Amino acid sequence: MAGSTIDHLISVMVFLGALLVFISLFNQMIQTAILYQRHKFLATKCSDLLDNVLLNPGIPADWGKRNDTPCGFGLQDPEFTQYRLSPFSLMRLLSSSGDKVYYNRTGELYSNVSWGIGGGYFLLQEGECINYSLASKLLGVNGTYGFQLAVTPTVNVSIVEDKNVASYLRLNITVMGQGSPLAGASVDYLMFWTDSSEPIRNSTKTDSLGFAYLDFNGANGLPRIGVSQNKTAYMFIAKANLGGLHGIGYLSREIVTKAGNIIPLVENYGNGTVLLAHKWGKNDPGPGDSQAALFFNATFYVLPDSFSPIKNVTVEGHVTYGEELDYYPIQIPTSQVGYLVVTYWTGNDYGMVVMPWGIGTIGFSVVFGGDPSGQEWVVTDVRQVLVGGIAYQARLALWSLEGYGVVG
């Protein structure tokens, strides 16, 4: 009797022990499978959401050209079909790539798409932007998914001054794709120079490494531009093309003169009001000529497909250090893409900055949405898109917000 009881006890214990082991084994297997399914669902959702954003223009379709709030979110260019994005709608996205800029004279924050990268600025008043929260609500993912959308040029056209050449301006142009250089690409360029009333237009070609250089030394039809001092300034735009792939880049010679320099701030998106704000260096000016007026000439160029800019609006004026002339409001046309070129000077010091109207006219990137870092599982998907004829890549990162374990 005792033997059978012991036998019973041992068998029950062994059975329970084995059962526990198997349950945990099956459980782990099932959990992994469910997690895999949810991750896959997230990837599908990411692809769908990306197409949803890129293949519809939103409601109203022209919300990118207005400063009111859309009731449907989409970035497609309403004048085209397929993956062509509106250069205007992209401008209105609240940038998450750079910290917002606070301008104490207006007391407003500005979305920072570009703060002086290569002398290029695009700062749009925050109130005119579409923020992440609104976009999430309009896309129907608020509280369930987080996302970040990055629209970046496929072709990187990098332009730098060659510091080894001191007697004249040499510009080194490097055209790189995502995976390799654009060898043998034709490069059309425009040079806006303080000493020339019209932009200089010409073209060149990259070598097998995607590299080209231009010597502005008075030969080969190019003017001599001396940049050893700050007695001149320029803004250079290059558009590369190879096998149907188009990329664009720019370099603007922005310097801080003794009287500071100028930053364009988009104050009113709807009517195109831009503040040419007086910016100082790190320190306020001291006595003497550092408080001199800073003069400027701001010209807006419309950029048609032909890459031949058309001068549209020119405003001349000055700003000074103090309370009254801290900034100068100007108005630019808002219905067509182009760029605002601002030349400023005091005494013999010249500088130039550029502000695009339409993402794509000088190859700016836009990053919009939340921060994917620290999320348990982030999926990405990518599409090739066109912004004003320039090749871009739209990359969407998506993650679930419904707790650990990625609830699909």
Partner 1 sequence: MMRTIEVLLVIIIILGASMIASFFAVLPSPREVSPLNLRRLAFTTLQVLDVNYSLSRIVFMSPDDPAWNELRIALSACLPPNIIYNLTVYEVQSGNATELYRFKMSISNAESLGIASDAASYLVASSNVTFHVIPEKIGERGVGGTLYILNCSDARGWWITGYTAQSLAQDLKNLLEPYFKTTVMVQNTTDFGKILNNNTLQGEVVQNAVVINTFGEAIPIPTEYCKQPYYNDNYANYSYFLGQQVRRYNWTWASIVGYPFYYVTNIGNFTNNQNDWGIYGMIKVDKPGMNAFLQGLDNRNYNNDPTDIKSEVGVVSLSSQVLDSCNYYGIYPFPNQTSTRALRNSTLSSYNLYPALQIFNSVNVGGTVYNPGALYNHRSGTRIEGSLLALGLTRTPDIRLTALGLLSYYKPRLYRSEYTATNTSRLVVLQLGLLGGV
Name the minimum Å distance from CB 142 to partner 1. Answer: 23
Provide the minimum distance between the beta carbon of 357 and partner 1 in the complex, in angstroms, as a whole number: 17
Residue 53 binds partner 1, judged by CB under 8 A:
no
Restricting to residues 148-167, name those near partner 1 by CB under 8 A. 154-155
The size of the interface with partner 1 (CB under 8 A), counted in residues, is 60
Which range in 78-86, 120-128, 136-144, 255-263 contacts partner 1 by CB under 8 A?
78-86
Q: Considering the rule CB under 8 A, would residue 382 count as an interface residue with partner 1?
A: yes
Rg over alpha carbons for the chain, rounded to the nearest Å, is: 28
Query: Considering the complex, what minimum distance in angstroms separates the CB of residue 400 from partner 1?
Result: 12
Across-strand partners of 124?
111, 266
CB of 6 to partner 1, least distance (A): 9
Instruction: Tell me the closest approach of the beta carbon of residue 177 to partner 1, in angstroms.
Output: 2
Instruction: Give the Cα separation of 38 and 54 in Å (integer).
Output: 24
Lay out the site mask for partner 1 across 311-350 (x = CB under 8 A, - = otherwise). Answer: ------------------------x---------------
Check residue 83 for interaction with partner 1 (CB under 8 A): yes
Query: Is 67 among the residues that bind partner 1 (CB under 8 A)?
Result: no
Residue number, 35 or 293, with CB nearest to partner 1: 35
- Min separation Cβ 27 and partner 1, Å: 12
Nearest to 85 by CA among 36, 123, 50, 40: 50
| Among the residue ranges 126-134, 224-232, 320-328, 382-390, the one whose residues contact partner 1 (CB under 8 A) | 382-390
| Region at 194 (left for phi over 0; alpha for psi -120 to 50; beta for the rest) | alpha
Q: Rule CB under 8 A: say whether 39 interacts with partner 1.
A: yes
With CB under 8 A as the contact rule, the residue among 319, 381, 399, 400 that binds partner 1 is 381
- Among residues 94, 150, 391, 397, the one that binds partner 1 under rule CB under 8 A: 391
137 binds partner 1 per the rule CB under 8 A: no
Could you tell me which stretch among 139-147, 215-223, 356-364, 375-383 binds partner 1 (CB under 8 A)?
A: 375-383
- For partner 1, the binding residues (CB under 8 A) are 3-4, 7-8, 10-12, 14-15, 18-19, 22, 25-26, 29, 32-33, 36, 39-40, 42-43, 47, 51, 60-61, 78-79, 81-83, 154-155, 176-185, 242-246, 335, 377, 379-386, 389, 391
